[in-house]
Structure 1
């Protein structure tokens, strides 16, 4: 199959990805009409597998990975679609915990492009359709879809899902979703489905979200009403109308996200035993989620990229016994609330180092100079900031790198090659 006289199923994955990224890169108007049309042509709207769709401002990836881990450990066949990736594109789609081959990707890309014809698709829409097509090729018990942005107009939301999850509501992607929790919750609530459960881990649900869920006639299950968390000294308990679990181990990821994932599983048609839950909680570690890669000095990597996520990061940081100074390297995309992120950490941090991110969406040095007070250090790149800190840091100090997936991926590569 040859496409547009150039690309075909035998073209390399890197060439295909470059092509897909440039398809609709300048169009900021979101509409899923073309995506739905192609999905209907390829029968990608309905699946025999049980489909989870996971939205929210933060914790979507953590929730998805925990769902996948527990289901796989319970013997089920699982497809997982998440975004963005840290290092390689293939991280976005997994089948039974494994990445797919380049050949599978280039084959499905050629099919999506053939059916696309002249229709416009964004990068995310193209990749989402590809993921759905790939999942159709396997006999899966469950499919887990992470919402990319919002919900109402997200490509993942075209699927007739069986259970919806919203982890929390914070301020992010304001250009597309609005500047208030109310407007953002409205967008996210549209992943709800008639007569199907929607599990919400947000403690303070905006009225507008509840109105959408009610209008869609979905069945709302929410934290501190339908399920509860009780913290003990060395473990925690989970209570719900479906199931109670005692003496669970504290996870290395957000406890609220773990409880939200468990609630979703208990309202889904799967048989999950406590031993598997305990082992899965212990073994779920995500790169870039408060990832400690060194102890003397302590080096922590986190993909927190909005004030809500940074507030949670600050709480985690407070729980670490502080003996020395805290150095921070941060780089953000230009649509992020960098001021809000700073405010939620400023009382804990001794030295700030800001770096630009060299992508089309990254914040440049000139933009950082306009935003930041003069007392903050600005480096031309991560390597320079890292080198400056290495000259000052002591073994009892802490270095925190956060702000975006791009920065954390870069940091991991560089630090692994240059251990302190």
Structure 2
């Protein structure tokens, strides 16, 4: 699509986003040349701020939010870029913990469009460049970038980050990243930078990952090799390179993600008080991450949308003492390993409800799922129908588990909150 000269900083954010999505050029994941070209033209590759880039299959967003919270609580100026959003686009970019105005976003879009001319950019290229513009305008101490997809060819990887983080390596986005952990590990490892730390929150990483780290001459710091956590009944301990933290309270978010974020923090030049860390552990919560909306019956939301994340979710469900039934509402995009997700929860769930996600790559018919669905399933056209049907049957001691795509979870929050 050719450039639209009608769009400007006064054009609404919603129209801008619609326009950017329409010119969503498929790069076929063969390079970042255009994105890098525009970034150089706009001087967006060099920052005075210290830059973290966070990748991995699951927990990227959680790790980013943990870092943001700790740095903000320590008095530092922080820019955060994450994806996707639950409700509104503005959630993707925060400066000092606050969302920016629509006008600030549209001004950044207009600047990119002026420089872009006829250079093709994908949707994610475009919005990543806009985040860099918004961060460049402010005097920040820290910038935290969440990788959108993979790493090697993700738009966030154009920045020469100071510390790279990989939370874990699981099977997801197989059409883009490959069908094996070896393929996916290779893609994710490319966010590593020469002579800089790459923090890895998983013990067992593929050889392909390690080979890339070696070629790039990055400094690897890995859990159970360079830092450790010990689990106790009512507390946990953290140990790393002369840092010993004892009797830490358990966080409401993933402990593994929290320890990974701490390790990245401790390998940066910033000083953070232990009391700030403890206070952050106690208070960090994230919407859609094992979020309990209500009790009696217990309603749980989680954006687990691949087998690795669902396995983690199943462990949390097992820890809940309940004598009732479990009703699961699941909705994911069709490029996901749906059978693997079901397998990791099938023994716990009594009644299944499957909801189509009507997007470009969404599940649009029962036929696409019929061969992999468990016997005790219901296929309904939207979340409201599933929610209504369950509420006719559910008892106070039961659990309603809603999980999968961000699209489903965001809709669930809207609907459930109107009915609790």
Q: Same fold judged by TM-score > 0.5?
A: yes
For 2:315, the equivalent position in structure 1 comes to 315
- Contact 1:355 1:365 (8 Å CA) reproduced: no
SS at match of 1:79: strand
CA distance in 1, matches of 2:144, 2:20: 23
Q: Is residue 173 from structure 1 mapped to residue 173 from structure 2 by the alignment?
A: yes
Task: Answer with 11-20 or 374-383: which moved more.
Answer: 374-383
Cα 1:156–1:107 change in 2 (3 A) is same
Runs of 4+ in 1 over 3 A off after TM superposition: 25-30
- Kept in 1, the 8 Å contact 2:25–2:121? The answer is no
SS in 2 for 1:369: coil
Alignment of 1:208 onto 2:208: yes
Is 1:67 aligned to 2:67, yes or no? Answer: yes
1:5 positional shift: 2.8
* Contact 2:310/2:344 (8 A) holds in 1: yes
1:417, distance to aligned residue in structure 2 (A): 1.1
Are the aligned partners of 2:73 and 2:276 in contact in 1 as well (CA < 8 Å)? Answer: yes
Q: Give the Å deviation of 1:368.
A: 2.6
Number of the residue aligned with 1:149: 149
CA contact (8 A) 2:356 2:363 kept: yes
What is the CA deviation profile of residues 196-218 of structure 1, one whole-angstrom value per residue up to 9, with x for unaligned ones?
Answer: 00000011011110110011000
TM-score by length of 1: 0.98
Deviates more, 1:362-371 or 1:312-321: 362-371
Distance in structure 1 (CA, Å) of the matches to 2:237 and 2:29: 45
Aligned to 1:137: 137
Q: For structure 1, which runs of at least 5 residues remain unmatched after alignment?
A: none
1:76, distance to aligned residue in structure 2 (A): 0.2
Residues 236-385 of structure 1 correspond to what in structure 2 (within 5 A)?
236-366=236-366, 367-385=368-386
Deviations 1:25-61 (A, max 9, x none): 5664452110000000011111110000000000000
1:371 is displaced (CA, Å) by 3.8
Unaligned runs of at least 5 residues, structure 2: none
Q: Deviations over 1:226-251 (max 9, x none)?
A: 00000111110000114110111100
Count, aligned residues: 417
Task: State the match for 1:47 in structure 2.
Answer: 47
Report the aligned-residue RMSD.
1.1
SS for the counterpart of 1:113 is helix
Deviation at 1:180, TM superposition (A): 0.5
Give TM-score scaled by structure 2 length. Answer: 0.98
> Equivalent residue of 1:233, what SS?
coil
CA change 1:26–1:139 in 2 (3 A) is closer
Kindly indicate whether the alpha-carbon contact (under 8 Å) linking 2:162 and 2:196 is maintained by their aligned counterparts in 1.
yes
Residue 217 of structure 2 aligns to a residue in which SS?
coil
Alpha-carbon distance between aligned partners in 2 of 1:242 and 1:207, rounded to the nearest angstrom = 29
Measured in 2, the distance between the counterparts of 1:109 and 1:34 equals 16
Q: Which secondary structure does the structure 2 equivalent of 1:361 belong to?
A: coil
Per-residue CA distance 1:365-409 (angstroms, 9 max, x = gap): 232335424531111110111111000000000000001100000
Deviation larger for 192-201 or 375-384: 375-384
CA distance in 2, matches of 1:331, 1:245: 40
